[in-house]
Copies of this chain bind each other. A is one copy, B any other.
């Protein structure tokens, strides 16, 4: 496949990630799901094991923002993109931070953890869409706690 096509695909996917970062920081739910396929399948950092649909994905972010007070911090590091003509995936290490309202269900009323994200894309028509996402923190098997204190 032509190198130019791959370079263009990578550039487009990095553009999608950039848009996503800005949308999360702005609590912009429509912006977050702008490039998600309607039937996207996602493994979120929180239960359940699996969910389907851009609407469910949007709702998870809505619930997250609802329990946060003030600014939402969101940073993406170590982004790597693997793209072909019409299938691609990317992985990255992300940081989410902010203050959680007293009634929010979050330990210590503080959101501040690094997590891993893998995103699967397909080119549908002329546009790249997110068809899969997997976000997680590792867990410590000896005591079943989430390792939310790790840093990249």
A binding-site residues for B, Cβ under 8 Å: 1, 41, 43-50, 78, 80, 82-89, 91, 93, 105-107, 114-116, 118, 120, 122, 131-132, 134, 136-148, 150-152
Find chain B residues with CB under 8 A from A50 CB: 78, 93, 116, 152
Find chain B residues with CB under 8 A from A122 CB: 82
Please name 25 pairs of A and B residues whose Cβ atoms are closer than 8 Å in the assembled complex, sorted by A.
Answer: A1-B85, A1-B86, A41-B80, A41-B91, A43-B116, A43-B136, A45-B138, A46-B139, A47-B138, A47-B147, A47-B150, A49-B115, A49-B137, A49-B152, A82-B132, A89-B118, A107-B141, A118-B118, A118-B120, A134-B136, A136-B136, A139-B148, A140-B146, A144-B145, A146-B146
**A118, closest chain B residue (CB):** B134
